[in-house]
Structure 1
Amino acid sequence: MMSSSAAYPPLNAPGGNMFNNMPGYEGIGAAGFLPPPMPTEPVPPPQPMPDNWDIPALTEDIAREALKDFASSHCCYGSDPADKGVITNMEPFNTFRYRLETFTEVRSHESAQKPYEGETADFYTQPAPQPWEVQAKPPSLFTNHTEEIRVPYTSSVKECDGCHAKGTKTCQNCNGNGYKSCTRCDGSGKKEEQDCGRCNGTGKDKCSKCNGKGTLECDICKGKKKLLTYIKLKVEWKNNENDYVVEQNSGLKIDDLDSVSGKELFKNSQYMAYPLLGFPDHNIYEASERLIKEHQSKFAQTSRILQQRQTVELIPITKVNYKWKEGMHLYYVYGKENKVSAENYPDSCCCVIL
């Protein structure tokens, strides 16, 4: 066991913060981050690509039912175009969506204190573990979570400065008197030449905040009179996600695709992702290469990367042209949910809901 004089400076050392010279926690309270340890796992080899990239073509019946559902979900839309319109052409514009998720762990620390409740004051007993040596159990992969941990061997007990170890503070509402001037008689004790019924002629109202005591429990030590001071380690797990959708020339806005899912063609989770070399659409390979580099550059220096996951979906998009009342119209059916976009639906009116 390391002696206290060798391990850490005395509690009353010049400079104030007793944690300043603790190995791994120097300059506590200053802005910055705790650099993660360097990764030791090798980059994995490329993953084989699946062979089946097709998605079944949309049938006219499904396209019509999708438009019917769309019309019925709008109170101002009539059902005739969906029921009686004649589909003249259906053209697929299926596209790919690539998603990269990087699951990271970030650690930061600060000096903290809490009301003392009998915890062991273990400061000085042995050197504290380094920030990245403190045990913290991560949540399920690719889920966000935050945990605060009291670092072992950093705890000490001190008297509460806020109340000078009394456990109570003077009530500011009544200046410690326990009462205030009666609001009904303005402190005179009389109302219309009779004793005030509110204060029984005393001219005083019991302070409602301190219940007449004149003191309140100290809000710092919660009446315990002492504080436990320690180093608090904050551990944040975060799933960082970026998507890329290959441009398609159907006329449907790419933003519309954010609300739908597609057919999952590829999903791979490992310590370090590798660009999807050999993917049939070169745009996906380029997107995977670019996003992997961006995530490495953005997260590797300030976070510990625990896992990366790549997903490729084939999103169905069908442009449907149809004829109704001598006019030509179109709509889009997209996503596994068969969602519809029909900006110029031909049978609509202005509804007034009373």
Structure 2
Amino acid sequence: PEAQDRPPSTGVVDLSFEAESPVAPPAELLERLPSYDWLFQGGGQQIFFPPSEAPGRALEQRCWSSFLEHSRVPLVTEEVAREALLSFVSSKCCYGSTVAGDLIIQGLKQQTLPLCSYYRLETFSESRISEWTFQPFTNQSVDGPQRGTSPRLWDIKVQVPPMFQEDTRKFQVPHSSLVKECHKCHGRGRYKCSGCHGAGMVRCPSCSGAKRKAKQSRRCQMCSGSGRRRCSTCSGRGSKTCTTCKGEKKLLHFIQLVIMWKNSLFEFVSEHRLNCPRELLAKAKGESLFKDENTAVYPIVDFPLREISLASQRGIAEHSAALASRARVLQQRQTIELIPLTEVHYWYRGQTYVYYIYGTDHRVYVVDYPERYCCGCTII
């Protein structure tokens, strides 16, 4: 018998291997499976639409004045400003530290209310696709359609990874296995070597089959005067082990479920009056003002900075439109952080310069540093 009996199982098998190819062999080799006829209609792979989910909790009213009153963004002093610049230039190979040590700070201009705000929306979703795949059959147990109908893909229960941690896993769909003769070698386990066309020998590369080298009377030492050498591709056997079935002659075909957990990200930084690029502010640490996490979050509608409210509405709408038909949303999280931003004016050797300190981790953005040794540095 091609398979060993075992009790019916409703679980799924976690696949720790990578099949040589996800492409199915000719469809006529495989029987139709109940609930999976679409796999035989030329597609080969199918994305399954998730079932609709119930809406999240009711919309909540928020008192933003309370949030803002309890936020504490520390001010930047001259000492902090100088230390931040010294730390920055020490991390750059072509920035001198003399300026940072000798400069005279003339003024600190800190971003006042409304503070620069950073909005972030994360949507953690799960998508599922299905495809035929195969592996060499080594007389392992076969969970085929005779043991029951294969479950629909969204009915298969699997362990979800921690929220907002991306992962991809592959599973064998229950009752979908079929054992068939290898379509590559036609059940022989081996096939003719392409290097020697099955002869096991090839023309000697040294004498080109002449048995003697040109203009020499001695016989070729590489082939001992035979004009031929053993094929290095098949070691002289004339055939090679089938790479598809690994010499097992048969293949175990089954439907593979591929589950992808992905984290979609939407970011927005509010306008500010200082000349520091907004894309840098998004990378800095900020003072946490608000965090909302649930199966589905609602747009922020009444934040004091209207552009943050609009960004929240736009981000949620974009994620909803992008994921609604191809993934199941498992969790959403939206946060607002206040990003402190300070413009530092300083004097050095008769000229005035400026740099910026942003974030609670005191990152530095330099506009024009007077002590640089090369060009083209990334100043972030």
Pair in the same fold by TM > 0.5: yes
The answer to whether 1:40 aligns with 2:84 is no
Aligned to 1:235: 259
Aligned partners of 1:68 and 1:79 also within 8 Å: yes
Q: Which runs of 5+ in 1 are unaligned?
A: 1-13
Gap change, CA 1:25 and 1:279, over 3 Å in 2: farther
- 2: CA distance, partners of 1:96 / 1:19: 59
Aligned-residue sequence identity (percent) comes to: 36
Residue 76 of structure 1 and its aligned partner are, at CA, apart by 4.1
Gap change, CA 1:22 and 1:285, over 3 Å in 2: same
Q: Deviations over 1:119-166 (max 9, x none)?
A: 314123211100101232222211221112111111111111211100
Match of 1:112 among 103, 116, 133: 133
Residue 56 of structure 1 and its aligned partner are, at CA, apart by 0.8
Residue 346 of structure 1 and its aligned partner are, at CA, apart by 2.5
- 2: CA distance, partners of 1:295 / 1:273: 11
Aligned to 2:73: 55
Residue 343 of structure 1 and its aligned partner are, at CA, apart by 2.0
Equivalent residues in 2 for 1:272-311 (5 A)?
A: 272-311=296-335
- 2: CA distance, partners of 1:25 / 1:46: 46
Residue 105 of structure 1 and its aligned partner are, at CA, apart by 0.6
Aligned to 2:34: 22
Residue 350 of structure 1 and its aligned partner are, at CA, apart by 4.5
Gap change, CA 1:42 and 1:147, over 3 Å in 2: same
Q: Which runs of 5+ in 2 are unaligned?
A: 1-25, 376-380
Supply the AA of the counterpart residue of 1:172: S
Aligned to 1:103: 124
- 2: CA distance, partners of 1:26 / 1:121: 20
Aligned to 1:185: 207
Q: Deviations over 1:269-319 (max 9, x none)?
A: 211112234434333222212211221122122100011111221111101
Aligned residue pairs total 338
Aligned partners of 2:116 and 2:339 also within 8 Å: yes
Q: Deviations over 1:202-253 (max 9, x none)?
A: 2221111111111101121111100111111111110011101111120111
The answer to whether 1:140 aligns with 2:154 is no
The answer to whether 1:130 aligns with 2:144 is no
Supply the AA of the counterpart residue of 2:51: P
- 1: CA distance, partners of 2:188 / 2:198: 15
Gap change, CA 1:78 and 1:153, over 3 Å in 2: closer
- Is 168-177 or 312-321 further displaced after alignment? 312-321
- Is 104-113 or 163-172 further displaced after alignment? 104-113
TM-score normalised by structure 1 residue count: 0.87
Gap change, CA 1:105 and 1:123, over 3 Å in 2: same
Match of 1:92 among 110, 114, 119: 110
- Is 248-257 or 75-84 further displaced after alignment? 75-84
SS in 2 for 1:309: strand
The answer to whether 1:312 aligns with 2:358 is no
Q: Deviations over 1:27-86 (max 9, x none)?
A: 555275211011035334427564522301111100011122233334444434322322
Gap change, CA 1:35 and 1:258, over 3 Å in 2: same
Aligned partners of 1:105 and 1:236 also within 8 Å: yes
Aligned to 1:3: none
Match of 1:65 among 70, 83, 90: 83
Aligned partners of 1:332 and 1:340 also within 8 Å: yes
Match of 1:166 among 188, 191, 202: 188
